[in-house]
Structure 1
Amino acid sequence: MQTLHKITPCLWFDGQAEEAANFYVTLFPDSRITHIQHHGEAGPGEPGSVLVVTFELSGQPLIGLNGGPQFPFTEAVSLQIGCDSQQEVDDLWARLTADGGEEGQCGWLKDKYGLSWQVVPRRLFELMDESDPARAARATEKMLTMRKLDINVLEEAAKG
């Protein structure tokens, strides 16, 4: 039986919910599949039989629903990842853009399932929240020109 949380984002997939959830849980510590619900007549393990996958990414509950092709993902909804190092940014960027993912602007990307992610170093938020508005503006302006965010480049831009 799955636990009902107060708020749990539900991601609509076209048949790849279990595959996507299995991939996503490999990306983050404290992540796991918590429940798989199958269509009423299909049995576990049968291709296409999964209806819902409940999973956690770094403790955040999510649901993957195999709802069909009617509603593909758009950039209107994305998952933001706060990264502690450039290595973490680089690793997640490479893994999420692999096998058909697409780079976007300003640290955004789409994975191979079409889901949008923001891979953002926590240092960017610190730079944008500087008490010196000119430093913050320079960091922000530089961020707007980048695809994958680079902490060193952002810090150099902030310095002027």
Structure 2
Amino acid sequence: MTKRLSNQKISANLWFDKNAEAAVDFYLGVFRNARKGRVTYYGKEGFEFHGMPEGAVLTIEFILDGQEFIALNGGPHFKFNEAISFVINCDTQEEVDYYWNKLTEGGDPKAQMCGWLKDKFGVSWQVVPTVLADMMDDPDAAKVQQVSAAVFQMKKLDIAELEKAFGK
């Protein structure tokens, strides 16, 4: 029996139609600190419950930068939406640009705003510079308002523009 990738108490479970393998491979290629873990497969019951043939991938465990996920091939019953998203905290503009460019490849351009994006599998992400939280927590309400206004005008967040709006 193969061990779990981590002892993380809570893991995000992502329900894909039939493309969990492609999604996991994509994410493993995007995140530099990533690895795949256990893979489970449907038995004879797969078709009855999810329309999946015996031997098709059921779940794949994987880790992206320390966060454990499980990808499930569950059929077309549920779709991703923006009510759940994953935040990628970035220290530099280079890092923001990297994740934004990688995750928007083939994604939905209409779902890009304020640092949010939807990838080609329908999963929502927020690519956020870490300095933004400090700016939004500043005691100067005028600075916070200027930064907020700047964020609402952007798709991909730009640290230099945020700093300009903040008054740096």
Fold shared by both chains (TM-score > 0.5): yes
Does 1:17 pair with 2:20? yes
Q: Deviations over 1:1-53 (max 9, x none)?
A: 343642111000011111111111222232100111111259xxx9x811101
Question: Which of 57, 67, 77 is the matching residue for 1:60?
Answer: 67
Q: Deviations over 1:125-155 (max 9, x none)?
A: 1111113221122111211121110001111
For residue 113 of structure 1, what is the amino acid of its counterpart?
Answer: F
Tell me if the contact between 1:77 and 1:116 (Cα under 8 Å) persists in the aligned partners: yes
Question: Which of 113, 117, 125 is the matching residue for 2:133?
Answer: 125
Cα distance in 2 for residues equivalent to 1:87 and 1:38: 39
The number of aligned residues is 157
Cα distance in 2 for residues equivalent to 1:100 and 1:136: 30
Question: Which of 67, 77, 86 is the matching residue for 2:93?
Answer: 86
Tell me the equivalent position of 2:80. Answer: 73
Tell me if the contact between 2:86 and 2:125 (Cα under 8 Å) persists in the aligned partners: yes
Matches within 5 A, 1:118-157: 118-157=126-165
RMSD after superposition: 2.1
Cα distance in 2 for residues equivalent to 1:131 and 1:143: 18
Does 1:33 pair with 2:36? yes
Post-superposition, which runs of at least 4 consecutive aligned residues in structure 1 deviate over 3 A? none
Does 1:113 pair with 2:113? no
TM-score, normalising length from structure 2? 0.85
Tell me if the contact between 1:2 and 1:54 (Cα under 8 Å) persists in the aligned partners: no
Q: Percent identity, aligned pairs only?
A: 45
